[in-house]
Chains A and B, each alone.
Chain A
């Protein structure tokens, strides 16, 4: 140690360190945020605004985020809160649906003789699937989107939606069955399969 050497000034934190970590951990999820926003709002312009707002909020709160944990889950939580607090209040009301009365429609039972391998699915294009998802009640839709579109685990979904894991399971089960019923009806009405529409 050389006491005569003046301590060099602490190097300033690079101005772009925050930006660099935000780009690496948060901005990479822009596509995922947009897909979820689009399904929640059902509208491209609102989805743009919701994503923009989410990113601004996330950047302001970036110091609160524990780096290297689950940025996607953290961002989706911010996005969902922004949606509930601002968009849903302004644009429409949550559906007043009694989710218990939505009976799962057992497609497999209808189709096991005609198309047990589900070949009819291949004929249904992206837009039709997304349209069918958009018709689901919001509670089902958000659960299904986080799972099937974004590949989140039950635990991650439970955290984002602030519900127990058991509720994630039951909502996901019924959401997938309800969606399958819609796709089946679509396939029947387009003549992809004979079937009998529900």
Chain B
């Protein structure tokens, strides 16, 4: 596997959406190629950051009450 092929699968790998064979090839490349390893680490930090920032918001209480009222007449 070369760097280009490895980076093409960057997010699939981080999302755990690759086949076991591909995962093994990528892991091997990352061990052999520190620059790719650093880039994957950076992107993993980025995805973790995105999730932490975007998942906190929930539906307003008023909307919850409104939905229950509409559905069940409460």
Residues of chain A having any CB pair with chain B under 8 Å: 19, 22, 27, 30-31, 33-35, 38, 44, 48, 51-52, 55-56, 59, 108, 111-112, 116-118, 121-122, 124-126, 129-130, 133, 145, 147-149, 151, 153-154, 169, 172-173, 176, 179-180
B59–A34 touching, CB < 8 Å: yes
A51–B11 touching, CB < 8 Å: no
- Secondary structure of the B contact surface, majority rule: helix
A126–B54 touching, CB < 8 Å: yes
Q: Within the complex, which residue of B41, B45, B63 is in contact with A48, where a contact is CB–CB below 8 Å?
A: B63
- Give chain B residues whose Cβ lies under 8 Å from the Cβ of A129: 50, 53-54
Q: Within the complex, which residue of A34, A118, A153 is in contact with B46, where a contact is CB–CB below 8 Å?
A: A118
Q: List 19 interface pairs A-B (beta carbons < 8 Å), by A numbering.
A: A19-B71, A22-B71, A27-B67, A30-B58, A31-B57, A34-B59, A38-B57, A44-B60, A51-B59, A52-B63, A52-B66, A108-B42, A118-B49, A121-B46, A125-B53, A130-B53, A148-B47, A176-B46, A176-B47
Among B41, B43, B60, B63, the one with the most A-chain Cβ atoms within 10 Å of its Cβ is B63
Distance from B70 Cβ to chain A, minimum over Cβ atoms (Å): 6
Residues of chain B having any CB pair with chain A under 8 Å: 10-12, 15, 17, 35, 38-39, 41-43, 45-47, 49-51, 53-60, 63-64, 66-67, 70-72
- Give chain B residues whose Cβ lies under 8 Å from the Cβ of A35: 54-55, 57-58
- Give chain A residues whose Cβ lies under 8 Å from the Cβ of B45: 117-118, 121
Distance from B35 Cβ to chain A, minimum over Cβ atoms (Å): 8
Known: A35-B58, A48-B60, A154-B15. 12 other contacts (CB 8 A): A55-B67, A55-B70, A56-B70, A112-B42, A116-B42, A118-B49, A121-B46, A130-B53, A130-B57, A148-B50, A151-B55, A169-B17
